[in-house]
Structure 1
Amino acid sequence: MLAEKEIIVISINGYFESLHFTECRLGQPMVENDTLQVRVSNLHIMKGHPLCTQGSSLVSGVLMFIGIKRSIRKVTEYIGDPKNPDGFRDEYLITDIEEVDIGGAEVFLMEGVTEQPSAWIDWEIRASRFELQVD
C-alpha cells in the first residue's frame, strides 16, 4: 500500500514588493467571497522576502488578494509563438472587479504571461491585503 503524500502549503502575509513577476506564468483569476486568487509559477522571490535564503529563488503557488476592490488586466496577445512572436494583437482591458468605493485598498501591480490566451498581462489589483501561498 502506498503512503499518502502529505502536501504542505506555506502562507506568507505581505512582502509583495519582494516578488518579481516579469518571467512568471499567471493563471486565470478566481473570485471567492472577497478574495481574488491567481495561480502563479516561475515567480521570483527576491532578497528581503522570508522565503529567500540567498539570492533569488523560483516558487509556484497562489496569489491571494483579500478584501478585493478592483482587478483590471491589460491584455496584449502574442501573434504566433510567444517565445518568438510575429507581433502583437491590439491591447484590450478585462475588468474582473471594479467597486466604486475603493477606500482603504492597497494597490498591487504585477505583470507576466498567461497561456490562455497566450498573452502579456499588466495587472492592477486593489485589495486590503496580500498573501502568497507557496506549494
Structure 2
Amino acid sequence: MIIYRENFDEFHVCESTYGRPIKNGSDLLVPAIKLFLTGNHPAGQYGDIATGTMRFKNVVSSTRDISEYVGDPRRGGKGYFKPSEDVDDGPFDLTDNDIHMNEYLIEGKFSDPHTCIGDWIIKAESFEFECVGIYDLKLIPGGCEYLNYRTIEDAIKQAATG
C-alpha cells in the first residue's frame, strides 16, 4: 500500500465510484473503487484508475445529496431514480473551532446500490489516499468494466476496519 497525502485536487472525483463511508473515530474512510487520476497526480504516471481508501482526518462534517437508481442500469435503462435525499454522516466530535479545516467536494456514484452522489462536502483537517492498486486502462481488455468492484470494495473495507 502506498499513502498519498493531500493531492486531493489531482483526482477526477466527479466520475469516480465509491463504497459507503465508514466512520473510524474522528476520521471518515471512503472506499474508492474506481478513482480516476489526473496526469498531475503522483500515481498518474502508473495508470488511470486507483483503488484504495480515501481517509479524511479529523472530520467536522460530511453531508451529501444522493439519488438512488432503482433497477439495473446495465439492463436497457428501464429503471428510475428515487427522489434525491440529503445525508449527514454526523455527528462528529470536532467543530470548526477545534481545528484548521479544509473543504473537500466529491461527486460520482456509489456502487451498491447504484446511487448518484451530488455535492458531497467533507470538512476535515486533512486528507490522504491509501492506494492498494493502480490500473492502466490501455492494458485492461474491456477497460473499466473489467474490474471486479465487489472484490475490490470488500478488500478495501477489510483493510480500513482492520
- TM-score (ref. length: structure 1): 0.83
| Superposed CA offset, 1:70-89 (max 9, x none) | 11121111132234353311
Report the RMSD for the aligned CA atoms in angstroms. 1.9
What is the DSSP-based 3-state SS (H/G/I as helix, E as strand, rest coil) of the residue aligned with 2:9? helix
Provide the residue aligned with 1:40 in structure 2. Answer: 32
Provide the residue aligned with 2:131 in structure 1. Answer: 134
Letter in 1 for 2:15: E
Aligned residues between the structures? 126
Residue among 66, 76, 80 paired with 2:67? 76
Letter in 1 for 2:19: G
Structure 1 stretch displaced more, 94-103 or 110-119: 94-103
Provide structure 2 residue ranges, at least 5 long, that are not aligned to the other structure: 133-162
CA contact (8 A) 2:22 2:29 kept: yes
Provide structure 1 residue ranges, at least 5 long, that are not aligned to the other structure: 1-8
Provide the residue aligned with 1:120 in structure 2. Answer: 116
CA contact (8 A) 1:65 1:130 kept: yes
- TM-score (ref. length: structure 2): 0.70
Q: Identity of aligned pairs, percent?
A: 25
| Superposed CA offset, 1:41-89 (max 9, x none) | 22111122111117x6111000000011111121111132234353311
2:87 is equivalent to residue 94 of structure 1: yes
Runs of 4+ in 1 over 6 A off after TM superposition: none
Provide the residue aligned with 1:58 in structure 2. Answer: 49
